[in-house]
Structure 1
Amino acid sequence: MPKLAIFLLLAVVLAACRSGQADGPVQVDIISLDHAPIRPAVQEALAVAAEYGDQVAAQSYNFDTPEGTTFAEAHDLAEHTPMAIFVNGEMEFQVDGRTIKFYSFPQGAGTGMVAEGGWTMDDLRAVLDQATN
């Protein structure tokens, strides 16, 4: 019985000491088509992630590579997608009462053939602010 009590006490102490944040940096994964119209948006998203230094680790994937294909399949991206951003494995977030989905071009960057998405780089910053605080 004393061993069980010590074990339970140790478990409670360890649980209380654990911080609310996960270990390691926030993971940002960007997958995109390697097409001229989308490259500036990908570079801008990578630059936003870089603003957070060691708190954020960013990785980009090209749909047309084996790594990109594997990533797309793992995240159920099957259609023609210019760009998608995942933060800690999620693409959809709540920001100021709005649902933000990091899918397609950011607002103002769409083309005549592909519509812009419903998100901005400021939305990405807001999500990264939430994830790093």
Structure 2
Amino acid sequence: MNTRRNFLAAMVASALAMAAGGALAAPPSVEIVAMPHPPVRMALAPLREWLAAQGGKLTVKEIDIESPLGEKRLAAAGLSGHIPILILIDGKHVFVRKDGGKVAFVNFPNIPGTPPGARGEWTTADVQTVLAGRIR
């Protein structure tokens, strides 16, 4: 009888732990590692507005890419040189799109008016899509 009671108690405890696991999971983290200059601020405005609207569903951290910490984050991502923007989601900046292609959240978003040499291959919608699959 004691064995059965212990077994049932263990099953209930396991079920509760699994149910709570999703609730206890940390929200996705987003790091915007970027230059603080006006063109960069304007290019990131739509993304920042969307991130702010998500409230507590995300953890957002902003880092000046020209600071020692920003340079460290850039190097940790395997990047160097004159990069105005790096977006990290849970520490990664390269993701696979639904069509199988890769997208890297580096440089300016691909929007009209961005100079070709500084234009990345990502859009705010790409960031939103990656995060949509992680937001609870």
Same fold by TM-score greater than 0.5: yes
Q: Name the amino acid aligned to 1:99.
A: K
**Contact 2:77–2:92 under 8 Å retained in 1:** no
Deviates more, 1:30-39 or 1:108-117: 108-117
Q: Name the amino acid aligned to 1:100.
A: V
Q: Find the counterpart in structure 2 of residue 118 from structure 1.
A: 121
Equivalent in 76, 96, 99 of residue 98 of structure 2: 96
| CA deviation after TM superposition for structure 1 residue 15, in Å | 6.1
| CA deviation after TM superposition for structure 1 residue 83, in Å | 0.7
1:63 aligns with 2:56: no
**Contact 2:93–2:106 under 8 Å retained in 1:** yes
Gaps of 5+ in 2: 1-6
Tell me, in whole angstroms, the C-alpha distance in 2 between the residues paired with 1:130 and 1:22: 17
The 5 Å alignment of 1:34-53 reads 34-53=36-55
Gaps of 5+ in 1: none
SS in 2 for 1:38: helix
Deviation track 1:71-97 (CA, whole Å, cap 9, x = no partner) reads: 223322212112110111111122322
Is the alpha carbon distance of 1:94 and 1:71 closer, same or farther for their aligned partners in structure 2, counting shifts above 3 Å? same
Q: Which runs of 4+ in 1 moved over 4 A?
A: 8-15
Q: Note the aligned Cα RMSD (angstroms).
A: 2.9
User: Which structure has the greater CA radius of gyration?
Assistant: 2
Query: Alignment identity in percent?
Result: 27
Tell me, in whole angstroms, the C-alpha distance in 2 between the residues paired with 1:65 and 1:115: 20
Deviation track 1:58-83 (CA, whole Å, cap 9, x = no partner) reads: 11111222222232233222121121
- TM normalised by structure 1 equals 0.76
